[in-house]
Amino acid sequence: MVKKGQIFRKYSPEFKLSVILDMREHRLSYSETVRKYGLLLTSKGGAINTLQRWERKYLEEGYEGLMKDNRGRPSLTGKKRGRPPKLDKKVEEDLIAENQRLRMENEYLKKLSALVQERIKRENGKKQK
């Protein structure tokens, strides 16, 4: 658990790489590596977890993975906050025109459907008499 006033160290990607390569070359355990390099993190267990994270990033992504600084809370599903970017004037005008055309088409189809239903109703009424 993080304590108030606790100081965290930030290690360079070169240092992380040298620690991982030395650990793998000399077949050192995580705790031996922490002791050898004096990694001062939250606790002994915290340092071991950090070392395991470095090694996993190195094995999955290579040296570039060690260069990334993934601090802070990740964004929710990649959505950006704030107002969406404004559309180009021409695009906006085209969308408005298309929206109006679709509304007119929808009204036309509703009226046509009502007329057809009325006609069918009248024809059914004449046949029954």
Residue-wise pLDDT tens digits, 4-16: 766 667 888 899 9
Closest CA to 17 of 59, 70, 72, 71: 59
Q: Where are the beta strands (DSSP E) in the chain?
A: none
pTM over 0.85: no
Same structural domain, 59 and 101: no
- Tally of domains within the chain: 2
CA atoms within 13 A on the CB side of 86: 4
Same structural domain, 58 and 103: no
- For residue 7, is it within any domain? no
Q: Which domain holds residue 43?
A: 13-67
Same structural domain, 61 and 92: no
Mean pLDDT, residues 117-127: 87
- For residue 2, is it within any domain? no
Q: Does residue 80 carry a pLDDT above 90?
A: no
Q: Quote the CA–CA distance of 6 and 42 in Å, as a whole number.
A: 8
- For residue 79, is it within any domain? no
How confident is the model over 22-74, as pLDDT tens digits? 999 999 998 898 888 887 655 546 788 888 989 999 999 888 888 877 777 76
Beta-carbon contacts of 58 under 8 Å, excluding residues fewer than 6 positions away, are 16, 17, 20, 65, 66
Q: Does residue 116 carry a pLDDT above 90?
A: yes
